[in-house]
Amino acid sequence: MGLLDNLKQQMGSQFIEILQWLDDTNDSLVYRFPVYNQEIKMNAQLTVRENQAALFINEGKAADLFGPGRYQLTTQNLPILTTLRGWKYGFQSPFKADVYFFNARLFTDLKWGTTNPVMMRDAEFGMIRLRAFGTYALKIADPKTFFATIVGTQGLTTTDEITGQLRSTILSRLSDAIAEAKIAALDIASKYDELSSHARQILGPEFAAYGLELSKFFIENVSLPEEVEAAIDQRTKLGVLGDRMGQYTQLQAADAMKIAAANPGGAAGAGVGIGAGIAMGGMMGGALATGMGGAPPVPGMGGAPPPPAGPGFAAPRWSVTIDGKTYGPYTDDSLKGMVAAGQVAPGTLAWKPGATGWAPLSTFAEFAGSSAPAPPMPPPPPPPAR
């Protein structure tokens, strides 16, 4: 073998003759074939598998695109690259080009969720804050657009590297979708499918601008603020009992006894606490029976309008939380009586409609300066037996 033949063989070994991507990952969107300083041999074999696409890049610009199949690279099936390179008359020498493989399969179970609550206007509750999360699925629909908008400027290659940008798009458009749907907050849970479909229609063009197709979009949960959920829990209790005043009175008495049991160190003691709770429940029931003749609605929850204020009458509005459980609602007078009886400490967390959040009772103007009463004197010892 002559020196010239040996040199040709060594040079020929540097040319790329087979181009393919055997993807063994679960999150790769794009793979750049390692050409670098090597050259692609004209008439080399290109293999593009199902759910793949191969894109030839010339000096940073997208050129020829290949779908699934097996190709022999020639100037005939590289028309754009041939024009850009200025090849004529069947040029057969090796050439340099960047080759990107795109994974066009469906990527499922991608997560989205609100980092911070989203402010919404609801017809029943007014201005509220909502949290939401769910999943979506996407795939690369236009490799050239995806390369121009994402890969060419940022070099992103995996789903993790693009989901952050897509999540911001989802959250900004989802709030619009919920607002346009005009669904009451209490009815959102029964409208997840309709909201998901509406959100997908709004988000579809946003994803298409990146060369992506939003194939699936699901809303899994929408949660209300803590104070609104507490008010809903109270109304649920009343709905279970019905509108009979005796049952409402029993509910209030039971709550008062639970609060007394949760504060065993209170001045009232267990026996006094139970008695005070029952009496307080009866007092509330009598007041409500005089004013309404039925169970009151929870303020801000719709239904019948709040009862009018008057001497000896006020709507229940206070909720308190002890050991992670919520009790109420109570009127101002009944809650003040519980504080005076030592059943509720001034530092107990409370909430009322219009408050910004849960706060100690003593921080509200209605209970400013309140403090637990001094414990009563212990009873005298029994006389000695004779």
CATH number of the domain to which 135 belongs: 3.30.479.30
Same domain, 233 and 199: no
Separation in Å, CA 137 to CA 55, 107, 214: 23, 5, 6
Chain-centroid distance of CA 364 in Å reads 32
Same domain, 73 and 129: no
Give the integer Cα–Cα distance in Å for 237 and 240: 5
Instruction: Determine the structural domain holding residue 85 and report its residue range.
Output: 13-103
Residue pair 211/140 in contact by the 8 Å Cβ criterion: yes
Same domain, 265 and 354: yes
Give the integer Cα–Cα distance in Å for 153 and 156: 8
Q: Is residue 199 assigned to a domain? A: yes
In this predicted model, which residue has the larger pLDDT, 193 or 300?
193
At 299 the pLDDT is 33
Q: Is residue 379 assigned to a domain? A: no
Evaluate if pTM is beyond 0.75: no
pLDDT (average), residues 332-338: 87
Same domain, 114 and 231: no
Same domain, 231 and 362: yes
Give the integer Cα–Cα distance in Å for 340 and 332: 12
pLDDT tens, 168-187?
Answer: 889 888 877 777 777 877 78
Residue pair 319/298 in contact by the 8 Å Cβ criterion: no
Backbone φ and ψ for 308, nearest 5 degrees, come out as: -70, 145
3-state DSSP assignment of residue 169: helix
3-state DSSP assignment of residue 236: helix
Give the integer Cα–Cα distance in Å for 386 and 376: 29
Write down which residue in 45, 72, 103 finishes a domain. 103
Parallel, antiparallel or unpaired: strands 15-19 and 39-48:
parallel
* Residue 10 scores a pLDDT above 50: no
Give the integer Cα–Cα distance in Å for 331 and 337: 10
- Residue 45: CB partners within 8 Å, gap ≥ 6? 17, 18, 19, 70, 71, 72, 73
Give the integer Cα–Cα distance in Å for 206 and 221: 23
Classify residue 306 by its DSSP letter.
P
* Residue 217 scores a pLDDT above 70: yes
Q: Is residue 372 assigned to a domain? A: no
Same domain, 304 and 323: yes
Structure tokens at 257: 């006894």
Confidence of residue 34 (pLDDT cuts 50, 70, 90): confident
Q: How many domains does the structure of the chain reveal?
A: 3
Parallel, antiparallel or unpaired: strands 126-140 and 39-48:
unpaired
